[in-house]
Structure 1
Amino acid sequence: MLSAHLTYLIKAQEPVADLSRLAEHLPYEWIEHAVRATGTASLRRRRLPAEQVVWLVIALAMYRHWSISEVLDGLDLALPSEDAPFVSKSAVTQARQRIGEAPLAWLFGRTARAWTRQDAARHAFKGLSLWAMDGTTLRTADSPANREHFGAQGYASGRVASYPQVRAVTLTAIPTHLIADINFGRYDTNEMVYAKGLLPQIPEDSLTVFDKGFLAAEILCGLTMGGHNRHFLIPAKSNSRWEVISGTADDATVRMRVSPQARKKCPALPEFWNARAIRTIDARGRERVLLTSLGDRRRFKPADILACYERRWQIETSYCELKQSMLGAELTLRSRTVEGVYQEIWGALIAYNLIRREIASAAWEAKLEPTDISFVRALHTIQHEMMWAALTPAYAKLPACLKRLRERLKSLPNEKRPGRTCDRVVKSRPHRYTVRFLKKNLN
């Protein structure tokens, strides 16, 4: 079974540099600590103890088009038993319900902190680590519990979306696409609320790029005032107003007033806040004004700041990798219960970060950027190697298997065509069935 292979590797005495392995990034001890810290450790011997269920939830995200039984049997995650060679579906459901979401949430936090810290210095921008913050949504199964807890999008016509939705805001490392932290929950909760909760997690000596929807003094001032050398970069809205203090029309220091409503909500906010306004022309010839707290004009040139903002779209790519590539563009998540949805999302985030962690390590060894390696092909390679590891009876063969995994990842560069651009457009979903219109009888 996979966890036993990982446990063997952790206890092995070979130097870490000689083995490229998944357990290097997700040690089995972390999983054991997660179930102990959250009080979900199994008290008696089971076919599916808590540690195995954690791995099962993570694997369900990597093998999205497989049923739970196929994932369980294919990766040999259940402990062996002569009396019952197969685990029933009800037993798997009960096992997931026993551990809940807490161990997965704890494990995500532990792994995200460790993995993002490894690359902070490698991909810094003039001494600052690069981050992006944005929001996304996930559809859940249309069960009464999910609809009541998460809610759904409402339309001007009065209609409500067909499926409940989870709203989420993530903090993502731009160079590696690793998700450092996330806040998610009800759909009707404003993204600003989720974003405000992520501010304490942004490290010092950093630059965070925001979407213009987060242009608010509470967010941006909260970022700069709440830590040392933490900076923001965000495009101005068409209705943004300010007073020019110094500089030129293309690169000026401006002062903006904080609204009385914002100061009433957060008394710590100042009456005015300053920013640097840079007027630029992007690659498509559109004029844009970028607001930033990077005030040193000699160190941070307008062209450098524009290049940083263009990299903001990496967070959109990470959403595509997570929702489209890894989760298979499925209409909804698997779970029909609220706690199951939370558990599934935490497992998917760990799985995504585990793949991205392997890609970053392979890229570092091959002297490439992490974004130069194809995520889809890396996912398929890791899926294949996990299956191979589960079917290999001899533990001694696994180090060579996982070393081969790293070598394969280094040979999977993205084939980017020079000069190719893909406009962001929204296309209507085609109707699956014919729409029948009934004519009224006018006679």
Structure 2
Amino acid sequence: MGEGVVVRPDQVSLGVLVAAVSRDAVDEAVAVCGVREKRSDAKLPAHVITYLTLALCLFPEDDYEEVATRVTGSLDRWGCWNAAWTAPTASAITQARKRLGRNVFPELFERTCGPVAGKAGVSAGAVALGTARGSFLRRWRLLAIDGFELDVPDSKENAAEFGYAGSGDNRSAFPKARVVALAECGTHAFVAAEVAAYNVGERTLAQRLYARLRADELLTADRGFYSWQAWDTAQATGAALLWRAPTQLDLPVVRVLPDGTYLTALIAPSIRGRRRERLLAAARNREDLTDSGVVPEAFDQRGLPVIHLARVIEYDVPDRVGNGTGELIVVLSTILDPDGPDGARADELAAAYHQRWEEETANDQLKTHLRGPGRVLRSRLPDLVHQEIWAYLIVHHAISTLTAHASAAADLDPDSISFAKALRLIRRTATGTADIPP
């Protein structure tokens, strides 16, 4: 995992899951969702099937019984398994997963998968993860938003729930689930997500995530996520925004700043004609657009703003092919000042926007390394598909936390520790067989 990096034994093997997802958190999620077993002597109690479902994501190539045989010994050492029990059958695991339903894992994600950067390292004197490159811009934690798709088994239930990409001869071979997530740029850890059918667009799922932003976060986003509604919702949280502007977006110059960036006015599409011109004139005259008594046109009938000032940063990216051409990148930000306690320079913002690509890395880690390239999920029922997707998100977060802690202990950038190598180490050590039934 990197020369000089020391990780405690209890951080690897199945302990990476038990340490990241505590028994208390599991029990609380189960209780909130009302799926606790009714008998104390029940086979495969809810906490056990929760950990087994997480373990299924560590070993996607193995069947249910093989995974159970691999990890129940480890669960015994962690007090989550009775050594007198026998490893469960595939049928027993499936029935237990059905009893658990689809809501426990998103609830568990909410309880366990928060921000990672900024926490202290695991050893005495270890540096804070917030010092890692790409984790913060000044006082803001850097986040990115992006989406990906997952193939699910071609059962009639999954087809009805999730749908296919395309139609007719161009229809996808398998139904697809869509995931849109917020990820911490510095550590690749997913901190919020939405899961839905394929026909639910990325913008729709993203809109559900914006309200969960915090004032100490800076969200980066590609131009495909921009809309007036999205910007308005995200800005209302107090979080800073750094989004690429769509090429067709009108960006009138309101005021040029000393560093060459400029302020523009983002106006709700419903505002046109003279009212729009009045708002632009007010912005250029530096009138107070936050007070309805000063510029009443700046608010709708509900008292909500219909105009936002944004800062425009433009820069060139040299063509990687080397033919002498370049691409003009235009990004919008709510950080209006070039400097000061709530400001940032243009070069800082350009570098921060580049960190958006770290979520592409996170998506690849989950889809290519953890799940396996081109692999279809194993669950043939929609409730179990939802379980499985959230379990993958939780397991990815646990591994990202492990690598982030290891990097902090060695004062390294988390990017310098291979996710694939960490995963191989965990898989090699996540063993400990239980009694195998005849």
TM bucket, shorter chain? 0.7 to 0.9
1:334 deviates by 0.6
Name 2:336's counterpart in structure 1. Answer: 295
* Local SS of the residue matching 1:260: coil
Is the counterpart of residue 102 in structure 1 residue 113 in structure 2?
A: no
In the alignment, structure 1 residue 367 sits paired with structure 2 residue 406: no
Partner Cα separation in structure 1 for residue 130 and residue 249 of structure 2: 35
Q: 1 CA distance for matches of 2:171 and 2:219?
A: 34
Correspondence for 1:37 = 32
CA distance in 2, matches of 1:88, 1:340: 17
**What is the CA-CA distance between 1:54 and the residue it aligns to?**
0.3
Change (3 A) 1:117 1:187: farther
Counterpart-to-counterpart distance in 2, 1:140 and 1:260: 40
Equivalence map 1:96-135=2 (5 Å): 96-113=97-114, 115=116, 118=119, 121-122=130-131, 123-135=135-147
- Quickly say closer, same or farther: Cα 1:261–1:68, change in 2 above 3 A: farther
Q: Secondary structure at the match of 1:241?
A: coil
Matches within 5 A, 1:12-31: 20=11, 22=16, 23-31=18-26
1:162 corresponds to: 173
Q: Report 1:225-244 matches (<5 A).
A: 225=236, 227-228=237-238, 230-244=239-253
The one-character-per-residue Cα deviations of 1:95-139 (angstroms, maximum 9, x if unpaired) are 111112222221111001375673785532111111001111111
Residues of 1 paired with 2:371 and 2:25: CA distance?
Answer: 24
Structure 1 pair 256–29 and aligned structure 2 pair: CA distance change class (3 A): closer
Aligned residue identity for 1:254: T
2:173 pairs with 1:178:
no
Q: How far 1:271 moved relative to its partner?
A: 3.1
CA drift at 1:379: 0.5
Alignment-mate amino acid for residue 160 of structure 1 = R
* Counterparts of 1:302 and 1:271, CA distance in 2: 26
Answer whether contact 2:149 2:177 (CA < 8 A) is retained. Answer: yes
Shift of 1:184: 1.3
1:192 aligns to 2:207 (yes or no): no
Instruction: Indicate whether 1:254 and 2:255 are aligned.
Output: no
* 1:245 correspondence with 2:254: yes
Amino acid at match of 1:281: D
Equivalents in 2 of 1:382, 1:356: separation in Å? 12
Query: Per-residue deviation at 1:250?
Result: 4.6
User: Is structure 2 residue 60 aligned with structure 1 residue 60?
Assistant: no
Q: Provide the alpha-carbon RMSD of the alignment.
A: 2.9
Q: 1:289-438 to 2 correspondence within 5 Å?
A: 289-298=330-339, 299-387=343-431, 390=432
Aligned to 1:217: 228
Note if contact 1:256-1:272 (Cα within 8 Å) is conserved in structure 2: yes
Q: Residues of 2 paired with 1:377 and 1:219: CA distance?
A: 38
Structure 1 Cα separation of the partners of residues 117 and 155 of structure 2: 36
Conservation of the 8 A alpha-carbon contact between 1:242 and 1:257: no
Shift of 1:265: 12
Q: Quote the offset at 1:257 in angstroms.
A: 2.6
Q: Sort the Cα spacing of 1:116 and 1:344 in 2 relative to 1 into closer, same or farther, 3 A.
A: farther
Alignment-derived partner of residue 94 in structure 2: 93
Distance 1:261 1:312, change over 3 A: same
In the alignment, the residues of structure 2 paired with residue 37 and residue 384 of structure 1 have an alpha-carbon distance, to the nearest angstrom, of: 34
Conservation of the 8 A alpha-carbon contact between 1:133 and 1:169: yes
What is the aligned length?
371
CA separation of 1:48 and 1:116: change in aligned 2, threshold 3 A? farther
Structure 1 residues 369 and 267: CA distance shift in structure 2, 3 A: farther
2:147 equivalent to 1:151: no
Q: CA separation of 1:327/1:320 partners in 2, compared to 1, >3 Å: closer, same or farther?
A: same
Q: Residue by residue, what CA displacement relative to the aligned partner does 1:310-355 show, whole Å, maximum 9, x if unpaired?
A: 1100001100000110001143111111101001111111111111
Assess, with a 3 A threshold, how the Cα gap between structure 1 residues 264 and 65 changes in structure 2: closer, same or farther.
farther
Partner of 2:291: none
Q: What percent of counterpart residues are identical?
A: 26
Structure 1 unmatched runs, 5+: 1-16, 394-443
> For residue 89 of structure 1, what is the amino acid of its counterpart?
A
